[in-house]
Chains A and B, each alone.
Chain A
């Protein structure tokens, strides 16, 4: 039932709001009823709490709000409050002649959305409709989150560490984890815990930071949920919460670890890059991971958290600019970007790099369209979820499988591309193949991304290429290498991001784009978040350098915003379904930017690539 449906008529609201008034005192009940009627609410009264519960249970959608006295002979008002919150997820207002703050506190901790003192005045009742609106508003936002294991908990809307209450309160929060921007808050789990559903844990940024710090402290390999839980020292957080979060975290790291490894290697040698990219199998040499998402197959040797050679690497990883750019232009992407706390996005992102690194295991010949469909569905779900503050990891998990597979297929591209590139050196005027290739790629990427990044030195370029987490283009592009190349070519985030605006490349395949964009945007955002926490990287690497919150409307997550910006800088050419598109886009970029240095080189390289292909 939509919010609107619940109201008699939206334009009449709050008139017609259906209130259930419960008070064993008939005098007070009569007065309350009259006052409520005077406010144009639709009132039902009962002087017994038990009867009230029956009425509510009979039809959960019959009432919008419950007002209940605290002292009642047949049932404690607080008990009724809890039950209503748990079973029906309706806003409940407490009413009492007790002005003692401890009663008020008890009301709050039991989930009351307001506490009124007797004698009740009509002015106070005129505003109680806000609680209904707020509750439904939160529910609608919450319902967009992934719907996975439902854990309901009546919450006052602020969640954070551990079992925190959902924004919406107990009701409807059937999602396992909801991401909330609010700070951690603890719900008073009282002796009725047995009747309450499990609390949903909202992994806020702060909470996750604590988690990451704990994992770091313990050592990734040794991090066990129990120990993490102890280190985090967060009330109401259970071992189960930590365990599931840890699993997701590991999956994420697994995905990105492939890129990290590559980066580390590239940092050491140009050839490694070529080797790695040139052969899918070669990637096996690196931390090869199964591409299955959520399979948890994280080989022991590849801890997600690696000592990155440089701070920047991770940052760059996290700024899969190519993918991000595209997404930026689309509204869903924008929405994603706004969800800094969306762990789901994070997971999406992580899956991207993973694919890249797992060249060997790339799912080749997979039915791409199917993947996309899955992806799209998941994405759309995730997008909606992500838009809300409350996101569930589960939702993002759903998207993983398709996403990862998709990425795998996309991963293949690098190989092809590199092969082509490798061929170039010979044709290139420069006599240094490796360097040439890198440069060419870089130029091309520069052109593509239209970044103003000056042609870096070989080592830099290599780093850059690796830094950019290869976000497989969401689209099952047969020319997957396009994606790869673009991702590799993405210049260093810092410089590139700021100048780049979403390229026009996306136009070729809007459908694919939109789907991917969601992921991409998420990916763009998430990794940074995680990495930041993990690495304590200076935000300067990728975050703040970019234009402000272009994409994200949340000022809090400046670093994420920055990240997004970077991503926009390094858009992925892969959007284009064909090389021609890429070329065109590149051309456009170049023309628009006009800053590309070595443009000729880039173009030259590009055309060469084209011909080679």
Chain B
């Protein structure tokens, strides 16, 4: 404004310089004699507050230096410009001083509400902006009921104003109020619907100003969507900390009194239908369906849709039949459903196709809601079925990207009716509908919401809710499609990967429900069993020796939990799936908690008879023997390794498996199954940890005297010496806890079978003969390979044995074996074969300090000192 004025002023000035001003000359008529003197003379008015000197310091002022009070006064000024300026000033003031608004909000509202029905368009617009941007957000957290009631009277007043613009603006205001305070609709529902009805009846205006109609209608859609409906029942939140028996105040339900508005709503629907009907010829005359008219029609249809839904599913006393009486149903079927489908007269653009598609979808949805009440003729019904089929197949929509997007967005509107339709129409249509539905399910983007909608429909069709009368299983058409859907699920799971955990969760939930339900239906039972093959890929796959982990490993915990639960319901878990689960459990990246959970659930499944005992035990054995310990060697457990080390995990895994195995039933039977497997594995020389775990399993299941067979005792006697020496070699002597953990199983075995002990001692003795020592590559030990360390290890081992009271008692009956071992150590000492000086020195210093106390201990046996002990002692004394 200011800029455009400036040049014109300049021109004027130019003119003033040169232009001669013409003055009209001549006489004037004298004033009439009886004229009244209208001149008012007054002396100066003194307004102390308004003088420049007014002290406004400390008060919140706008840019123009006015306080809130002054601005509010000005807002009712007779000049529109001043009013607008005042509103702008208030906005400005509120932005800078938010506290001011909070303090005086009621005063502000009381003053400003008068402006809702302001004559001037600009003022109204400014007021709307002020409310929208400042006042509502600023007062959001307050008690809004009072606040709103202050406004509503003026809004209603404006709604009945004569000027159409003011009325439209009032609807806009109301829309704003509803946005910030939804309950206000239920408070004034009847009055509001009446107002909408009135304005929509004035059909001369909407054909002219579609933009305003559009805003009004969108407001209506918003209001109607607040109508209560039975359908959504997903209100389930557990308050965590609450005390269970605590007193709970009754919260008043917001949706009381909706029953009364049904009549009004019915009238409104009739008006909307008329409105829609008026639009139809317009559409035909227009060359093209423009955005505005499309939006208007869409809003109308949506409003009708919501109203119809409220009639049928809403919470009120009246039955749907009594609401949809003759007038309503005939109007609906003639004027709305009669014109279906809408199609473009002049085919121009693909966009237009999509628009018509959307409108048709909404009409079809309305029809499907009303189907039972209206009782359409077969002809009409056929028409709709055809449309639904085509819509699902995607043939109506354009194939462009935007067309596809529209399709994905609007098809879910039709999906909820599919289960009912499929169960009610004749066989020919049934297969066509199901076919097209299956096509939709397969074709849509796995991450889209359409997929989720399809999944929920599939759940409804597979698992009947409520009372369990299952549709006759002989229905082959349905069964075929059910098979397709079920087989698609694991593939979908793999396709989703870990990109969208929420979708994966939905699929897994469906699988779980299917598993729970499958017990009662032989067909589903078989299909669910078959899923296993495809599902194993979800966990891990092994191809040509390479291991590929599936999405299971990367999904969040709750999805993992769900997928583990699914395993329980396979009535016969096959080996392939079990194998892929084993790989997952063995993977070091998987959290220990999850792998424990897998084992736990699989054991529960075994208990329920869903896994063969052989498979189950071999699963356990594989875990024990193949579990990779990190870091590799047990010996130096440094502080820094504690974090990466998974020793603790493996220990608890061993304990868990031991307790499961002991719970499996008659332990002697289980022992015989396990014995063979373990001995086979042990002879492969597994790492110490795994060997220890397997020995532990054996002793848990064994009893005294031992159940081990002759053969296995011999096999063990070849294995144990090496194992024992390795343990002693690797674990520092002061780490009592650790070596007890590794050696205790052996002690138990010795306790149960003295024969084993004898054999073991023999083998240890034979290690120390010259010929064996010289053999550098002996495979019976992994760590203690050189002769020096082997001698060392033997001595420490014997020391350990003698420290343990119980084993010492057992070993006392094997004096000859011990004696020969000591003898050979002593003789080694003297023989000095192939040793450099340095080696010899080391040997002396390390062996001697240990050997001597050992000999002492052996010598202190109750039977007195035997001659060779004396000999050995002598030898040391002299050397």
Tell whether A pairs with B.
no
Give the interface of B toward A (CB within 8 A): none
Give the interface of A toward B (CB within 8 A): none
